[in-house]
């Protein structure tokens, strides 16, 4: 934050959570879950810029500090790229290839009055909003499938 204040630049805090991680731990064991986390961390490091910082902050959550951001559209593009790379990767877990989905939220440092805790909180809230939206959309898609099946079966 100090660098951003003095250089008058912006940065973003990006919070990322693996969707369905508990299922990996339950089906394959915790050591396999740990292996998946390491593989995702490697993909994340490859998905961000050299000036960005990636850290695992606990459980299945990662935090990315994206520095030198000029505008919000830059962060959106970066987040879309991160999500695409993580979700398109095949991960080897106990001899099986698995995919993972992620929920991501971010917040931007724009003014000197913003605290890092506020940025973290905003990124976290946005990530959980995205996670809830994904669940809602998944449920809607299931309802649509059920409606199509009912029509096909003349129910």
- Using DSSP's 3-state secondary structure scheme, residue 83 falls into helix
Instruction: pLDDT band for 141, please (50, 70, 90 cuts).
Output: low
- Which domains, from first to last, does the chain contain? 2-130 (3.30.70.270)
8 A C-beta contact, residue 14 and residue 82: yes
pLDDT category of residue 2 using cuts at 50, 70 and 90 = low
Tell me, what's the pLDDT at 132? 84
Length in residues, the chain: 155
pTM for this entry: 0.79
Contacts of 137 (CB under 8 A, 6+ apart): none
1 — pLDDT class (breaks 50, 70, 90)? very low
Half-sphere exposure of residue 90, counting CA atoms within 13 Å on the CB side? 5
Tell me the residue ranges of DSSP E strands in 70-145.
91-93, 96-98, 101-109
Question: What is the Cα–Cα distance from 25 to 106, expressed in whole angstroms?
Answer: 27
Q: What is the DSSP string of 61-126?
A: EEEEEEEEE-SHHHHHHHHHHHHHHHHH--EEETTEEE--EEEEEEEEE-STT--HHHHHHHHHHH
């Amino acid at each position: 934050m100090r660098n951003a204040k003095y250089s008058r630049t912006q940065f973003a805090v990006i919070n990322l959570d693996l969707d369905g991680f508990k299922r990996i731990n339950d089906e394959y064991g915790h050591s396999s879950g740990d292996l998946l986390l390491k593989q995702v961390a490697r993909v994340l490091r490859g998905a961000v810029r050299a000036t960005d910082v990636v850290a695992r902050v606990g459980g299945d959550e990662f935090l990315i500090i994206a520095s030198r951001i000029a505008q919000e559209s830059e962060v959106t593009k970066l987040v879309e790229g991160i999500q695409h790379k993580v979700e398109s990767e095949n991960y080897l877990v106990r001899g099986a290839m698995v995919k993972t989905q992620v929920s991501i939220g971010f917040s931007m440092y724009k003014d000197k009055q913003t605290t890092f805790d506020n940025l973290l909180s905003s990124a976290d809230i946005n990530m959980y909003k995205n996670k809830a939206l994904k669940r809602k959309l998944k449920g809607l898609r299931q309802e649509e499938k059920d409606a199509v099946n009912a029509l096909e079966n003349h129910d």
